[in-house]
Amino acid sequence: MRILVVEDDPILADGLRAGLALKGSATDVVATCEDAEAALSTTRYAAVVLDIMLPDGSGVDLLRRLRRKRDTTPVLLLTARDAIEDKVGGLDAGADDYLAKPFDLDELAARLRAITRRESGRAESQFEHGNITLHPVDLSVTVEGHAVTLSRREFALLSALMERPSQVRSRAELEDVLYGWQEEVESNALEVHIHHLRNKIGRDAIETLRGLGYRMRAVR
């Protein structure tokens, strides 16, 4: 899951990057409305964590502009105020959820999972495909009921593929999911992760479509 954090406080932004990485997400951090709009126009994010009070304007205004452009990326607002009218204003402007500062990292992660789940039209919190079950809550995967230990990247890769199992995900798309901007990507890194993943969940679970990308093999 790739997430955009729009927050101008460097310490909080750094904490969100580190914290969301622990929860299995790749995170990009920007500090202004302007940078956020630029990032959103070039990259597809699973969700946006948006601070309301930004140096170059209001996060709520940014959200309104986004929704006017028919961008439906799920947005979670971070507010310093917890007055009802602030919450109502934010939700009416098109936010999917809000959290008042200071918040709990686990709660933030759970709410992000919830709004991305709603966005993809699922009700249940886990993904199932054949004999593989993926639990985003505790980052665990079971194959035929047995727990499998995956690295953070492997988990992110598997959840990207299992979100829409019948769909082919391109190489670039998958790299986007795995890495934020600041991270260096080695040319064969994706192949290495796929290789490890196949070793852990079964050789046939993921199929390669040459020149197109990867997808989950259809369940017979």
Nearer to another protein, 81 or 135 (CB): 81
| Nearest by Cα to 20 from 54, 51, 46 | 46
110 makes contact with another protein (CB under 8 A)? no
Among 39, 53, 139, 189, binds another protein (CB under 8 A): 53
* Cα(65)–Cα(38) distance, integer angstroms: 13
Convert residues 21-40 into a mask of x (bound to another protein by CB under 8 A) and - (unbound): -x------------------
Nearer to another protein, 53 or 143 (CB): 53
Residue with tokens 């994706």: 190
Q: Which two tokens stand for residue 10?
A: 């460097």
| Nearest by Cα to 32 from 65, 3, 6 | 6
Nearer to another protein, 19 or 213 (CB): 19
15 makes contact with another protein (CB under 8 A)? yes
Give the ranges where the chain is alpha helix by DSSP (H): 10-22, 33-42, 59-68, 84-92, 105-119, 152-163, 171-178, 189-201
105 makes contact with another protein (CB under 8 A)? yes
CB of 69 to another protein, least distance (A): 23
61 makes contact with another protein (CB under 8 A)? no
Q: Residue 170 corresponds to which amino acid?
A: S
Q: Render 111-139 in DSSP notation, one character per residue.
A: HHHHHHHHHTT--SSSEEETTEEEETTTT
Q: Candidates 16-24, 69-77, 162-170, 210-218 — which segment interacts with another protein by CB under 8 A?
A: 16-24
Residues that bind another protein (CB under 8 A): 8-12, 14-16, 18-19, 22, 51-53, 55-56, 78, 80-81, 100-106
